[in-house]
Structure 1
Amino acid sequence: MKARGRAVAVRLDLRGVKCPLNWARAKVRLEQMARGEVLELTLDDPRGARDIPGAAEAEGYAVLESTARDGIFHLRIER
């Protein structure tokens, strides 16, 4: 089994996509992934960056990381 947070990540660039559509797209991608895989999201929507971690955890996913720099947000979510 791959170490938590060290698995090869699937990247999804959601810059320009507003909430709640950015979560809908992320959720569809997560559902297509295997358990243990990690989805890396890039967002520029502050509302999505705030809401997606809670929505992901409510669906049973693990939020590994949430960072922001210069108005760009990066989330790592494990399936």
Structure 2
Amino acid sequence: MSSAPHPSLLLDLRGTPCPLNFIRARLALEGLEPGSWLQLDLDRGEAQEQVSSGLRQQGHAVQEAPHPEAEQGAIRLLVCRHGA
């Protein structure tokens, strides 16, 4: 993508354990219109892998974005809700 998407909703799930972080992300996406973006802040590692993998399996587009606290173990994902 040439320009960064503008998220409709920001969700900070750092410190939230698996699978609760995935469930909260999925519920947040259900409240958005198809094509809308969700910004997710997560812990690196298992949380990042489980949430991004699960959301992709559900058909959502997931991309990484720079996080201002990356050196502290945070990751930012931008998720586009699927649907027509």
Does TM, scored on the shorter chain, surpass 0.5?
Answer: yes
Match for residue 40 of structure 1? 39
TM-score w.r.t. length of structure 1: 0.82
More displaced, 4-13 or 36-45? 4-13
Q: How many pairs are equivalent?
A: 77
Stretches of 4+ aligned residues off by more than 2 angstroms = 3-9, 64-68
TM-score w.r.t. length of structure 2: 0.78
Greater share of residues in strand: 1
Tell me by how many angstroms 1:67 deviates.
5.3
Contact 2:7–2:38 (8 Å) recurs in 1: no
Contact 1:19–1:45 (8 Å) recurs in 2: no
3-state SS in 1 of match to 2:10: strand
3-state SS in 2 of match to 1:48: helix
Match for residue 78 of structure 1? 80
Contact 2:63–2:78 (8 Å) recurs in 1: yes
Residues 6-27 of structure 1: CA deviation (Å, up to 9, x unaligned): 2343100111101110000000
Cα-Cα RMSD: 2.2
Q: Sequence identity, in percent?
A: 32
Structure 1 unaligned blocks of 5 or more = none
